[in-house]
Amino acid sequence: MQIVVTGATSGIGRALVGLLTARGDRVFGVSRSVTALAEVQAQLGKNFSFVAADLASPGAADIVARALASVEFVPDAVVLNAGIYPHDSDKEFDAAVAAKVLAVNVSGTLALVGRLLPQVQQRGGQFVAVSSLFARRPDPLGVGYAASKAALTMAFRSLALRYRNSSVRFKVIQFGPIATEGFAGAERRRVRFAPHLRTAQQAAAAIVRTMDSGRTVVTYPWLVSCALRVTAWLPDPVFDAITRPFRR
Ligand SMILES: NC(=O)c1ccc[n+]([C@@H]2O[C@H](COP(=O)([O-])OP(=O)(O)OC[C@H]3O[C@@H](n4cnc5c(N)ncnc54)[C@H](OP(=O)(O)O)[C@@H]3O)[C@@H](O)[C@H]2O)c1
C-alpha cells in the first residue's frame, strides 16, 4: 500500500510510519521540520519519502500534492494525524492561539482532503482523521482544541455520508490520552493518574486496525469509549470535575 501520514516525525505519527514501513508499505510523511523528516528517513530507509509543509499555511495542500506527483505516489490511504494542542485558556481565553489550532487541525487538514480526493478516489482508497475524546466533551483549558476535534469528527462523519456510495472511505479515530512527546511536553499537561493512558505504538496499531475495518467512527481505547457512553447523561461541569485528575 501507499500511505500518506501527516505529523510523521513524532508521537503517534512517528510510531505509525515505523509500523507501516516495517510491514512493507510505501509511506509519504508530512510535517514542518525537514531535519526531523530526514532523520526519520535515515531510520526507516527507502520506503519512507517526505515533504515539509506547514498545514497552517494556505499553500500546504498544493505543496504536498506536487511532491506526491513528483515521485508518482498515488495514495491508497491518507492518515491526517498532524495536530497541535496548546492550551488557550489557562488564564484568559486567547483567541489567537485558538485560531492557530483550528488552522492546523481543521482548515489545513480539510484542505489536504480536498486536494488529494481525486487521487484517493481513483485508487478506491481512504482518509483517516485523528481526533480526540475532546470531540465529545468540552475542554475548559483547550477551547480551540475541543472545537477543532469536534469539527474534524463532524466533517469526517459528513464526508463518510456524502461519499457512502463511492469508492472512497472516510474514517475518524478518537483517542483518549496517549503518552507522546507532545502530551508530556509541559508540566501542566501531566496526567496524575491514568490507567487508560496508552503508548504511541498502541495508538498507531489502533489506526492500522481502523484502516482495515469498515467502521466510520472509532474511539480508542475501549475504556475511554465505555466511560464516555456510561457518563453521557452527566452535565459538563460534573463530568469535568470527575475526570480532571485523569486528564492533561
Ligand atoms: N497525545 C494524545 O494524548 C492525543 C490524544 C488525542 C488525540 N491526539 C491527536 O493525535 C495527533 C498526534 O498527536 P501526538 O501527541 O502524536 O502529537 P505530537 O507528538 O506533538 O506530534 C505532532 C506531529 O504533527 C506535526 N505538526 C505539528 N504542527 C504541524 C503543522 N502546522 N503542519 C504540519 N505538521 C505539523 C509535528 O511535526 P512538526 O513539529 O515538525 O511540524 C509532529 O510530527 C494529533 O492530531 C492530536 O490532536 C493526541
> For 107-154, what is each residue's pLDDT tens digit?
999 999 999 999 999 999 999 999 999 999 999 999 999 999 999 999
Indicate the top mutation candidate among 180, 198, 202 to test ligand 1's pocket, ranked by most ligand atoms within 8 A of CB: 180
User: Phi and psi for 207 in degrees, rounded to 5?
Assistant: -65, -45
Residues linked to residue 128 through DSSP beta bridges, in sequence order = 79, 171
The string of pLDDT tens digits covering residues 65-123 is 999 999 999 999 999 999 999 999 999 999 999 999 999 999 999 999 999 999 999 99
Cα–Cα distance for residue pair 87/146, rounded to 1 Å: 10
The C-alpha cell 452535565 sits at 235
pLDDT band at residue 186 using 50, 70 and 90 as cut-offs: very low
CA of 104 to the centre of ligand 1 (A): 10
**Residue 122 grid coordinates:** 481513483
Q: Mind listing the domains of the chain with CATH numbers?
A: 2-246 (3.40.50.720)
Q: At what angle do helices 95-102 and 143-162 cross, to 10 degrees?
A: 30
* Coil/strand/helix, residue 161: helix
Does residue 248 register a pLDDT over 70?
Answer: no
Residues listed for the chain:
248
Cα–Cα distance for residue pair 20/49, rounded to 1 Å: 13
Give CA angle at 107 (138, 145), nearest 5°: 20
Closest CA to 179 of 154, 144, 203: 203
End-to-end CA distance of the chain, in Å? 35
Cβ of 36 below 6 Å from ligand 1:
yes
pTM confidence score: 0.96
Cβ of 173 below 6 Å from ligand 1:
no
**How confident is the prediction for the chain on average, in pLDDT?**
94
Atom of ligand 1 nearest to the CA of 60: 32
The string of pLDDT tens digits covering residues 198-235 is 999 999 999 999 999 999 999 999 999 999 999 999 99
Residue 216 burial (C-beta neighbours within 10 Å; 0-12, 13-18, 19+): middle
Report pLDDT for 246: 75
Give buried/exposed letters for 23-51 (b at 16+ CB in 10 A, else e). Answer: eebbbbbbbbeeebbeebbeebeebbbbb
Nearest CA to ligand 1 atom 46: 83
Report pLDDT for 182: 67
CA of 7 to the centre of ligand 1 (A): 5
Cβ of 247 below 6 Å from ligand 1:
no
Nearest CA to ligand 1 atom 23: 7
